[in-house]
């Protein structure tokens, strides 16, 4: 029971990510900020600093014609969800999801 409570508290205290729509990806990517690149009606990329701290930039394609492809939704509370999960194949090789503007690690990584 104690482990379960610690896990819930850790997730609740985890910092949330902000998101912003931009026409072009900025040169300086801010930590804990997700950039949705393109026109608001036609975004083509999501980019953010890797949440593990490795300083790599994660870039996720939003174009359905290309593979792999991700999607995102902004919920009624203004929180971003990205689908499917992000599994880095180079660098840190971390696996995570973005739900309700927070990072949820898959495979036990704590960040």
Q: How many domains does the chain have?
A: 1
> Domain for residue 2, yes or no?
no
Domain interval for residue 73? 16-105
Residue 85, both tokens: 């999960």
CA distance 86 to 58: 9
Question: Each residue of 68-86: pLDDT tens digit?
Answer: 999 999 999 999 999 999 9
> Domain for residue 5, yes or no?
no
> Domain for residue 36, yes or no?
yes
CA distance 51 to 37: 19
| pLDDT, position 70 | 98
Q: Which among 86, 24, 25 has a CA at the least distance from the CA of 54? A: 86
In the chain, count H helices and then E strands.
1, 8
Per-residue confidence in pLDDT tens, the chain, 111 aa:
565 555 555 555 678 999 999 999 999 999 999 999 999 999 999 999 999 999 999 999 999 999 999 999 999 999 999 999 999 998 899 999 999 999 999 986 555
> Domain for residue 44, yes or no?
yes
> Domain for residue 50, yes or no?
yes
> Domain for residue 54, yes or no?
yes
Place of tokens 């994660």: 58
Contacts of 81 (CB under 8 A, 6+ apart): 72, 73, 74, 75, 98, 99, 100
Structure pTM?
0.85
> Domain for residue 10, yes or no?
no
CA distance 35 to 49: 10
């Amino acid at each position: 029971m104690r482990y379960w409570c610690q896990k819930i508290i850790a997730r609740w205290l985890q910092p949330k990510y902000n998101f912003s729509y931009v026409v072009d990806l900025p040169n300086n990517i801010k930590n804990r900020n997700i950039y949705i690149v393109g026109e608001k009606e036609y975004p083509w990329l999501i980019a953010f600093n890797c949440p593990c701290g490795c300083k790599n930039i994660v870039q996720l394609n939003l174009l359905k014609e290309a593979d792999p492809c991700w999607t995102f939704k902004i919920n009624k509370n203004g929180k971003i969800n990205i689908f499917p999960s992000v599994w880095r194949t180079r660098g840190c090789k971390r696996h995570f999801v973005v739900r309700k503007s927070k990072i949820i690690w898959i495979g036990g990584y704590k960040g």
